[in-house]
Amino acid sequence: MKVSQDQPIYSEAPLQLLLFVDGRPKSRQQVQRIRAYLKELEAQYSFELQMIDVGQQPYLAEHFKLIATPALIKIHPEPQQTLAGSNIIAELKNWWPRWQTAVDAFLKLQEDLQERIEEDGRGTSPQSTIRSVAVSAELIRLSDEIFHLKQEKEKLQEQLQFKDRVMSMLAHDLRNPLTATAIAIETLQSNYNVEVGEFQRLKPAMTAQLLKQARNQTRIIDRMIADLLQVGRGHDTEFPIVPQKLELGKLSLEVLEELRDRYIAKSQKIETDIPNDLPRVYADPERIRQVLVNLLDNAIKYTPGDGIISLAALHRTTQKVQFTIGDTGPGIPQENRDRIFENHFRLQRDEGTDGYGIGLALCQRIVRAHYGQIWVDSGPHGGAWFHFTLPVYPS
């Protein structure tokens, strides 16, 4: 028997064993008993043994899927076999005769192969199929390192792809609050009389509303720019949210008011069905505002003049609230209703129109970050009806 912890072994013993150990005192005593028993067996049969400290070579323990030490593993001849637990010596007594039989069968096969080669007149010895324990361990280590490097590469590629997607989404979505802010400021500016220091043709309530809208939209822009910076320097692939108690119905009406000029310009009718007792949800207000803005923006864009846009909410279960935004536009074909949420996917009819692209992919990512779902189907009068769910705020 040859035992080594530090020096490589290059013997050609047909029976090869690995003994995994750790530094625990109780384990040390058991290892000493195992080694003493193996020393007795050496007088009957030659074999190669290598001691492996799991603290120094954890990758080997991981490779052999060990869950406890000490453990004795037969790596040759195949099949591989592991003995572990508190009764290794008893198990070894049971398996040792079988291992000897397996080794004898292997050696007999090697002899037969040698005889055939000699009969063929080639005069060369067959290359041994036995691999040194040390060589096997080194190959396993290198194999594991390659595997981990591939994992790191895939993780880095995923992070880069995530950053590209989210940065594209946020950059695209910045246009909505920028437009709303610009409209509010331009309206205030066009009605302000510098000479008298007053807003003409604007009632105080409207002036206050426009100032509030500009301020709120500026906050949203600031948050989105912060998101872009965070994604640019971050290392994760999660979409950050800050959930809190949120009145979803109230927020949807606020977003609708911000887009008022757009749907009025197309003479579109708004229908709402939001229960007064709709429970509050547990969600990030600014993220959900992005979802509402995107869905309403698409509804207004694709609904023809004099069409109808619907907002509805439903307390679906004790844990979920469902919100729906519907329109009377061309709708989404059945075969594309899942793909419509893919990043950059566009319906062929929309190639020349801005919309139904990055925005819906962003909506899906936000809703899923809240452990909700988002999907689209047809409304009772045609068009596209987008639904999403959010968790109810725990009472």
Report, as an integer, the average pLDDT of 145-158.
79
Domain locations in the chain? 16-137, 242-395
Least confident of 142-151, 273-282, 307-316, 342-351: 342-351
Q: Mean pLDDT, the chain, as a whole number?
A: 79
State the pTM of this model.
Answer: 0.48
CATH 3.40.30.10 fits 16-137, yes or no: yes
Quick one: average pLDDT of 165-183?
73
Q: What is the rounded CA–CA span in Å between residue 255 and residue 249?
A: 10
Which comes out higher in pLDDT, residue 37 or 155? 37
Residue 244 has pLDDT above 90, yes or no: yes
Cα 221-256-388 angle, rounded to 5 deg:
85
Instruction: Look up residue 44 and give its DSSP letter.
Output: T
- 204: CB partners within 8 A, 6+ apart: none
Question: Interior CA angle at 294 toward 234 and 156, to 5°?
Answer: 20
Burial, 369: exposed, middle or buried (Cβ in 10 Å; 0-12, 13-18, 19+)? middle
Top mean-pLDDT range of 83-92, 102-111, 133-142, 224-233 = 83-92
- Report helix, strand or coil for 103: helix
Classify domain 242-395 at the CATH class level. Answer: alpha beta
Q: Are 261 and 183 in contact (CB under 8 A)?
A: yes
Q: What's the rounded Cα separation, in Å, for the pair 206 and 208?
A: 5
The stretch 285-303 carries a mean pLDDT of 90
User: Any idea what DSSP says for residue 373?
Assistant: -
pLDDT at 204 over 80: yes
Q: For residues 393 and 19, what is the distance between their CA atoms, to the nearest angstrom?
A: 55
Structure-model confidence comparison of residues 194 and 189, the more confident one: 189
Q: What is the pLDDT of residues 80-126, one digit of tens each?
A: 889 988 888 889 888 888 888 888 888 887 777 777 777 765 555 44
Pairing assessment for the beta strands 308-314 and 269-273 based on DSSP bridges = parallel
The most distant pair of C-alpha atoms in the chain lies apart, rounded to whole Å, by 117
pLDDT of residue 322: 95
